Copies of this chain bind each other. A is one copy, B any other.
Amino acid sequence: MLDERKLKILAAIVDEYIMTGIPVGSKAISNIPGINVSAATIRNDMAMLEQLGYLEQPHTSAGRIPTFEGYRLYVDKLMPSYPLSEEEKKVLDDFLETDVPTADALIQNASKALAELTHCASVAKNVSPQFSVITKVEVIPTGKRMYVLLMITSSGNIKNKVCRLEFDLTNEQLDFFANYMAENLQGVSIDSLSEDTVEKLVAATGAYMVTLTPLIKGVCELAEGFRDSDIHLSGEKNLLARPDIDHAQLAHFFEHKNEALKMLDGSFSDLQVMFGEDGDFVMKNSSMIMSKIKKGDKTAGALGVIGPMRLDYAKIIPYIEYLTERITALISEDDEI
C-alpha cells in the first residue's frame, strides 16, 4: 500500500512545503532529481496519500499540503538526517557557556539559543523545586523595620522577599528566629509547608509570637513561590512575525503558558513532537518539539521549540538533541547537590 515511492513522494512534499509554505503540486515533485516518474504517476500516488490521511488539499485545484499525520510520519520515518557541522556545534556550545552551570541556567541558555537559531519561540522548563527540601532560611535586616527573607532549597533555587514589620527586631529576636527556622524548617520539604504547619510554627513561638508572625508568614509565601512550575518562553516575538499563526490565539497562549503547557508535567518520552491539532497542545497550525533533560534517572527539566507546523524538523531536532546531550553531560559531571 505505502510502497517506497509513495513515501519518497510524501517526504518530498513535506520538504518542499516546509521550505516554501505553498501547497505543492505534482509537477514540482516530478522535477526533483531522484524521482523519475511522471507527474501523472505522482498524481495517482498523491490521491492515495490523501485518502490515507497524510495529505490534504486546500481546494480542488491547489497542490497538497501535509496533514499532521503526514508530518508525524515524516518526523518518525522519512526525515533526512542532518548531522550537525562542527561550526554549528561550536555555536551551540557557546550558548551553553555559563559561569554557574546549574541545570536551570543551562536549560534557559539553551532555550535562548534555540529561539535565536530557529526564529521560533522556545520553552525552558526547569524542574520544579516543589519536591526538594529547604536548605536554609535567613533573615537579614536591611533598613528601618525592613528585613530580607532568603530561602534556599536543596535543588539550589533561591528566592528572597522583603518584609516590613511594625517594629524593629532586637538582636535577641533575630537570633531566636534564625535558630527557630534552622531547627524547624531545615530539611523540611517545600511541599509539606502547608497552612497547618505554619500555624503550628506560629503557635510555638511563644513570647515572640507577635513580632515574628509576619516573618513566618513571609517564609510561607516564599515556599509557595517555589511550588509554581517554572516555565520560561523565549523568542515570543519570532512567532508574531509569522503570518500563518493566529495572533489572538498566540497572545492567549503566552498569557496562559503555564496551563497551556501543563501537559509537560506528565511523562513524555525523551524527545517528542506534538502537533497543534493532535494531542494536548492546542494551537492551530503549530507544533512543539520537546526534549526531556535527565540527571541520572531523574528529570532535571525540559527544553523545546514552538513554531508553525511547517517547522524545519530535520534541522531543529538535531539542535535540540545536541543541546540536550550536552546539558546532560555537563550536569552529570556535577556531584549531587
- B-binding residues in A (CB < 8 A): 99-102, 135-136, 138, 140, 142-144, 146, 148, 150, 152, 154, 156, 158, 160-164, 214, 237, 240-241, 247-248, 250-252, 254-255, 335, 337
Contacts and interface: CB of A to CB of B under 8 A. Distances in A.
B337 A143 contact: yes
Contacts of A161: 100
Binding site secondary structure of chain A: mixed
A148 B159 CA distance: 11
A241 B237 contact: no
A33 B136 CA distance: 69
Nearest first, the 5 closest Cβ-Cβ pairs linking A and B are: A237-B251, A240-B251, A100-B162, A143-B337, A142-B152
Contact of A140 (B100, B101, B136, B146): B136
B337 A144 contact: yes
A237 B214 CA distance: 36
Given A99-B164, A150-B150, A160-B158, A247 B251 contact: no
A166 B100 CA distance: 11
B136 A142 contact: yes
Contact of A143 (B101, B144, B156, B252): B156
Nearest to A252: B237
How many copies of this chain are found per oligomer?
2
Contacts of A214: 99
A274 to B, nearest CB: 23
Contacts of A247: 240-241, 247
Contacts of A252: 237
A283 to B, nearest CB: 14
Contacts of A101: 164
A244 B250 CA distance: 18
A294 to B, nearest CB: 20
Contacts of A135: 142-143
Nearest to A143: B337
Nearest to A141: B136
Contacts of A154: 143
A150 to B, nearest CB: 7
B143 A140 contact: no
13 contacts: A101-B164, A102-B162, A136-B140, A140-B150, A142-B156, A143-B156, A144-B335, A146-B156, A146-B337, A148-B152, A148-B158, A240-B247, A241-B251
Contacts of A143: 135, 154, 156, 337
A255 B116 CA distance: 13
Contacts of A100: 161-164
A47 to B, nearest CB: 39
